[in-house]
Amino acid sequence: MVKEKTIAVVASNSPAAQSALKELLSRYSTLSPETADVIIALGGDGFMLETQHRFMSMQKPIYGMNRGTVGFLMNEFSLDALPHRINNAESATLHPLHMRATTVKGDIHEALAINEVSLLRQTRQAAKIEIYVDGIPRVNELICDGVLVATPAGSTAYNLSAHGPIIPLGAAVLALTPISAFRPRRWRGALLPSNARVEFKAIEGDKRPLSAVADYTEVRDVRSVEIVEDLNTSIQLLFDPEHNLEERILNEQFTP
């Protein structure tokens, strides 16, 4: 007999999530996140992202159930046979991006991003950005609202809204996607190997200030940003077999 995994539960502040939390606690025994085998997250995709960041250092599997709007990263909400579902769940391992941003004053800020790192204009003027990949200049001057690097898990988020490609989870590539590019007019971005090192450099940074954003962390007035996949950090998500993340990302490419 397979031993049941112990669980901890966290929930967003939405009424639906709080109601689900109350019901779950009345039916199952729980532990603290520090001592449990699995962390259950009740909410939507935004709360799942928050939960991943909150417990990233623990490197414990997270099983989400949708009590939000879209729920792309969540399983269907049901409390029936929950221990069985968790024991039979399939695992998806994610690696975040590491951002190292240098401001115009020379300050250095570092942060991790599970979805994407984006560089965005701060004022009404378009951004001018120079793009390097593995130390080689690839775009001498991108005139745009911004540019981002997305992981496969984040490719269906902001990257998709910016008309970037959806990336299958096991593809070992990153999406480099411009945001409202003006010049080069026909440049749609690129797919990069996951071990690529990307660097953005601000052109006329004093006149055209830029913000760098790694998921929740924003750094303003940046001069340059370096991005690389952090293989030393892993995030493990659990999915019911019929709702695994790879299948969801694949299906998203055929959704009208």
The CA distance from 178 to 193, in Å, is 17
Confidence of residue 115 (pLDDT cuts 50, 70, 90): very high
Confidence of residue 72 (pLDDT cuts 50, 70, 90): confident
CA distances 28 to 23, 25, 68, 103, Å, are: 9, 5, 22, 49
Pull the structure tokens for residue 252.
Answer: 């998203």
Catalytic residue among 37, 45, 80, 215: 45
Domains delineated in the chain: 7-94+234-252 (3.40.50.10330), 97-229 (2.60.200.30)
State whether the Cα torsion 235-240-246-252 is positive or negative: negative
Please tell me the pTM assigned to this model: 0.88
- Give 202's Cβ-side CA count (13 Å radius): 27
Provide Rg for the chain, Cα atoms.
Answer: 20
Average of pLDDT values for 145-159? 93
Please tell me the predicted confidence (pLDDT) of residue 244.
67
Please tell me the predicted confidence (pLDDT) of residue 147.
98
pLDDT in tens, 160-202: 999 999 988 778 999 999 999 999 988 899 999 999 999 999 9
Examine the residue annotation and report whether 45 is marked as an active-site residue of this protein.
yes
The CA distance from 101 to 210, in Å, is 11
Average of pLDDT values for 19-28? 96
Please tell me the predicted confidence (pLDDT) of residue 42.
97
Please tell me the predicted confidence (pLDDT) of residue 110.
97
Q: Which amino acid is at 33?
A: P
Residue 2 reports pLDDT greater than 80 = no
The DSSP code sequence of 11-51 is E-SSHHHHHHHHHHHHHS----TTT-SEEEEEE-HHHHHHH
- Give 219's Cβ-side CA count (13 Å radius): 24
Please tell me the predicted confidence (pLDDT) of residue 170.
76
The CA distance from 30 to 4, in Å, is 12
- Give 124's Cβ-side CA count (13 Å radius): 0
Please tell me the predicted confidence (pLDDT) of residue 256.
66
% of the chain residues with pLDDT over 70: 98
pLDDT in tens, 199-240: 999 999 889 999 999 998 999 999 999 999 999 999 999 999
The CA distance from 244 to 123, in Å, is 41
CA distances 184 to 138, 149, 180, 181, 249, Å, are: 12, 18, 11, 7, 29
**Burial class, 16, CB count within 10 angstroms (exposed 0-12 / middle 13-18 / buried 19+):** middle
Q: Choose among 131, 113, 14, 137: nearest CA to 68.
A: 14
